Amino acid sequence: MDDKLRIVVSHPRTSETFEADVSPRCPARVVLTSLQSEATGPFLEQAPAGQPYALVLSKSGRQLTPNTTMEDAEVVDGDQLEVQQMGQGAGC
């Protein structure tokens, strides 16, 4: 059985955070999907088309690809991950 990691996830537009216990083998895409589920409130609303969410490990600034596991990203217990929304920028 996997040990669990406690991670703290920050919302992309508010000061809200969400604490979660995840497996070291959990990929970023599963964390993001879970944060958009009814089980979490949802913590995140569904991302608009063309503006997917990404997880960034705060201590290193490393963006996790969807299939990167917490273990592969060297996430440890208590780490903070930022949710960033890709494709945001100034419009013309």
Q: In 1-92, which ranges are E strands? A: 5-10, 17-22, 53-57, 62-64, 80-85
- Give the pLDDT of residue 35: 96
In a domain, 27, yes or no: yes
pLDDT beneath 50, residues of the chain: 1, 90-92
In a domain, 92, yes or no: no
Domain enclosing residue 31, as ranges: 5-85
- Give the pLDDT of residue 92: 46
In a domain, 75, yes or no: yes
Predicted model pTM: 0.88
In a domain, 45, yes or no: yes
In a domain, 90, yes or no: no
Closest listed residue to residue 35, CA positions, set 46, 27, 26, 25: 46
Rounded distance between C-alpha atoms, residue 49 and residue 70, angstroms: 26
Q: How many domains does the chain have?
A: 1
Rounded distance between C-alpha atoms, residue 69 and residue 23, angstroms: 9
